[in-house]
A and B are shown apart, each in its own frame.
Chain A
Amino acid sequence: MEILLAVMVGILYGTGIYMMLRRSMVKLIIGIILLGNGANLLIFLLGRITKGAPPIIPGDAKVFVEAFADPVPQALILTAIVISFGLQSFAIVLVKRAHTVVRTDDLDEMNATDEDS
């Protein structure tokens, strides 16, 4: 399972970076999304995948007795997903606005900011 996930993370990072390096703005966003998913899976993978009970201690015990599943990575992933949801929706709106104003999808043609003014 771990090895499969590790390969998956690698593929997501690779494709994400590849898409970001393309010249099209839409591919840029797809790249960002893939990269975000890769990072989330990486947290999941590195948080140790263990099958176990939820980390709730019975009232009369002080420490865990059985194997338990670490709840932190899930919380981190949830937070990261919410954040990337916000960022990605902003990215889509921004790219759409940029496309209507600049009238191109090609990032190489976006060089108004480098002009000498």
Chain B
Amino acid sequence: MTQQLILYPLFLQMAISIILMFGWSRIGFQKVFSVFGSILSVGLAVWLFSYIWTNGTQTIQAGNWEAPFGITFVADMLSVTLVLLTAISGLAVSIFSGGSVLKDRLRFGYFPILHFLLLGLNGAFLTGDIFNLYVWFEIIIISSFVLITIGGEKAQLEGAVKYFTLNILASMIFLTAIAVLYGITGSLNMADLAQQVALVENRGLVQITALLFLIGFGIKAGVFPLYFWLPASYHTPPFAVSAIFGGLLTKVGVYALIRVFTLIFVNDPFLNNIILIIAILTLISGGIGALVQNNMRKVFSYLIICHIGYMIAGIGMFTEMAIAGAVFYLVHDIIVKTNLFMVSGVVYRIKGTNSIRDLGGIYANWPRVSLLLFIPLFSLVGIPPLSGFWPKINLIKAGFAGGSYITVGAIIFASFITLVIIAKLWAEVFWKEGKELPLRSNFGYFSKMTTAKRLQFIVPVTFLSIVSLYIGFGAEHIQELSARIADELVNSQGYIDAVLKPKN
């Protein structure tokens, strides 16, 4: 049975989603069952993680068709780490949704779709087939379209149109890239592609295909010239939806970039330089964009873009240390970005607005809550020993070792600008004397909530803050993990052998 362990996260999310669909209109049941299922999935992900940690990369051929003909699912360290992080964020968001999303919205199948989204994410991380990756991407975007439009407010629909258009365009470019890749190699299995692409004589065609992949995944990841849909849409849906989007959706794009550019299109200085330039521009433009925003969620949206730059820079430098840094940053970023949007949700519930200009005085009235919110905010900046600090060491060291001083400069600039933004945010939102805001009728203020309801806001934030604190204080473990992942990624022969060589 353990041979099939890789697929269990997928089975579980699928089963949760189907069961939730049967209880379409019973919201109380859905809330409880969603949390229960998410706890199960965390347990399962931990089991899978420890299994892969001890036994190395595992594969399974769906339908029992041998690779490279069938669809392969591969669990290497990177995949299972991301599956674990997805499960953790999923649990937090599932609890948070129960408290923060309005009943009118939950009625439209919010929870089944949320678990479909998680299914798509798990599938994308575990698959070893490039067309199957496309299919999981589509599952992710269809679910995310529904989540982003649930509620149907004006801003939401406008944001959704932008989100929708660019994501579909990205999918089409991705599909085109797959078509070209299939045309030049005749294979879709990523391990097989890694071998086939290396043999292709026409390098120009390979580079063009790689660029198509870069654009397709780049739109999804939100890199420099392609990110404009992100700040236009992420601040419109309910906070729980923003949290799961901010934490995981762009990271799938980053995951796909890491996978494709460490396995299939490797050792190409031209591509690496382009990625590096994109990374530098992303770091700078995202940071500057965040500086001028007034809406808390828009600030965080721009910070997502800015910090995507760190991971892309890691791929661009393409040394083991740089990739270790990128992976470490990925681990830190998923947890902290999910948490940040939940923080903005808590602030919204306290004051009834997200406009930084109007906010203020939260520390005076809610000192303990503010101290809790302090942890994710300053983890993001990476004040040592909090979690954002450690991956940057790797990246900067790798930058010096590779002699790319501009990258180092951009990384330091982005860290500095993040510090400025978060310090400004802290001063304006928490310390500044609060204005008297007109009370909104029919609005569930935090101060009027029952303790049970409040816990639905506080527990997930606390949970993710503890995880971030662990990433910060237990950085040694995460560093060991990222070093191992980077080793697996750079020496991709292990991955290829695991897929193509039958075990018996």
- Classify A-B as touching or not with yes or no (CB < 8 A): yes
| Residues of chain A at the chain B interface (Cβ within 8 Å) | 20, 25, 28, 32, 35-36, 39, 42-43, 45-48, 70, 72-73, 76, 79-80, 83, 86-87, 90-91, 94-95, 97-98, 101-102, 107, 110-114, 116-117
B187-215, CB under 8 A of A: which get 1 and which 0?
01000000000000000000000000000
Smallest Cβ distance from A81 to chain B, in angstroms? Answer: 11
Considering only residues 140-159 of chain B, those with a C-beta below 8 Å from chain A are 141-142, 145-146, 149, 152-155, 157-159
Contact check, B154 vs A112: say whether CB atoms are below 8 A apart.
yes
Which of B152, B176, B295, B354 sits near A97, CB closer than 8 Å?
B152
Contact check, B183 vs A47: say whether CB atoms are below 8 A apart.
yes
Chain A residues with CB under 8 A of B138 = 83, 86-87
Chain A residues with CB under 8 A of B186 = 70
Contact check, A98 vs B142: say whether CB atoms are below 8 A apart.
no
Contact check, B295 vs A94: say whether CB atoms are below 8 A apart.
no
Contact check, B145 vs A117: say whether CB atoms are below 8 A apart.
no
B426 adjacent to chain A (CB < 8 Å): no
Interface size classification for chain B: 35 or more
B25 adjacent to chain A (CB < 8 Å): no
Contact check, B233 vs A35: say whether CB atoms are below 8 A apart.
no
The contact sample of 17 A-B pairs, CB cut-off 8 A, is A20-B169, A28-B161, A39-B175, A42-B180, A43-B178, A46-B182, A72-B182, A83-B138, A86-B138, A87-B138, A87-B141, A94-B157, A98-B157, A98-B160, A102-B158, A112-B155, A113-B155
Which of B142, B158, B172, B294 sits near A110, CB closer than 8 Å?
B158
Which of B161, B180, B183 sits near A94, CB closer than 8 Å?
B161
Chain A residues with CB under 8 A of B178 = 43, 76
CA separation between A83 and B132, bound complex, in Å?
12
A80 in contact with B160 given A87-B142, A113-B155, A116-B294 (CB within 8 Å): no
Q: Which 5 interchain pairs have the tightest Cβ spacing?
A: A46-B183, A43-B179, A98-B157, A110-B158, A39-B175
Contact check, B157 vs A101: say whether CB atoms are below 8 A apart.
yes
Contact check, A97 vs B157: say whether CB atoms are below 8 A apart.
yes
Which of A35, A45, A76 sits near B172, CB closer than 8 Å?
A35
Which of A20, A32, A42, A98 sits near B176, CB closer than 8 Å?
A42
Chain A residues with CB under 8 A of B172 = 32, 35-36, 39
Smallest Cβ distance from A21 to chain B, in angstroms? Answer: 11
CA separation between A32 and B172, bound complex, in Å?
9
When C-beta atoms are compared, the residue in chain A nearest to B165 turns out to be A28
Considering only residues 394-422 of chain B, those with a C-beta below 8 Å from chain A are none
Contact check, B149 vs A102: say whether CB atoms are below 8 A apart.
no
CA separation between A76 and B138, bound complex, in Å?
14
Contact check, B179 vs A42: say whether CB atoms are below 8 A apart.
yes
Chain A residues with CB under 8 A of B162 = 110, 113
Contact check, B180 vs A46: say whether CB atoms are below 8 A apart.
yes
B168 adjacent to chain A (CB < 8 Å): yes
Contact check, A117 vs B295: say whether CB atoms are below 8 A apart.
yes
CA separation between A94 and B158, bound complex, in Å?
10
Contact check, A95 vs B158: say whether CB atoms are below 8 A apart.
no
Contact check, A86 vs B142: say whether CB atoms are below 8 A apart.
yes
Smallest Cβ distance from A41 to chain B, in angstroms? Answer: 9
Which of B131, B161, B232, B295 sits near A79, CB closer than 8 Å?
B131
CA separation between A73 and B236, bound complex, in Å?
39
B135 adjacent to chain A (CB < 8 Å): yes
Which of B161, B171, B182, B188 sits near A25, CB closer than 8 Å?
B161
Contact check, B294 vs A117: say whether CB atoms are below 8 A apart.
yes
CA separation between A20 and B167, bound complex, in Å?
13
Smallest Cβ distance from B79 to chain A, in angstroms? Answer: 22
Chain A residues with CB under 8 A of B131 = 76, 79
Contact check, B145 vs A110: say whether CB atoms are below 8 A apart.
no
Contact check, A94 vs B149: say whether CB atoms are below 8 A apart.
yes
Smallest Cβ distance from A23 to chain B, in angstroms? Answer: 12
B231-253, CB under 8 A of A: which get 1 and which 0?
01101100000000000000000
In the complex, besides A101-B152, A113-B236, 12 extra interface pairs with C-beta distance below 8 angstroms are: A28-B161, A35-B169, A43-B178, A87-B141, A87-B168, A90-B145, A91-B168, A94-B149, A94-B161, A107-B161, A113-B233, A117-B294
CA separation between A47 and B184, bound complex, in Å?
9
Contact check, A47 vs B165: say whether CB atoms are below 8 A apart.
no
Which of B154, B160, B175, B188 sits near A72, CB closer than 8 Å?
B188
B164 adjacent to chain A (CB < 8 Å): yes
Chain B residues with CB under 8 A of A117 = 294-295, 354-355
B272-308, CB under 8 A of A: which get 1 and which 0?
0000000000000000000000110000000000000
Chain A residues with CB under 8 A of B141 = 87
When C-beta atoms are compared, the residue in chain B nearest to A107 turns out to be B161
CA separation between A107 and B162, bound complex, in Å?
9
Contact check, B164 vs A94: say whether CB atoms are below 8 A apart.
yes
When C-beta atoms are compared, the residue in chain B nearest to A88 turns out to be B168
When C-beta atoms are compared, the residue in chain B nearest to A116 turns out to be B294
CA separation between A106 and B149, bound complex, in Å?
19
When C-beta atoms are compared, the residue in chain A nearest to B180 turns out to be A46
Chain A residues with CB under 8 A of B155 = 112-113
CA separation between A36 and B232, bound complex, in Å?
25
Chain B residues with CB under 8 A of A46 = 179-180, 182-183
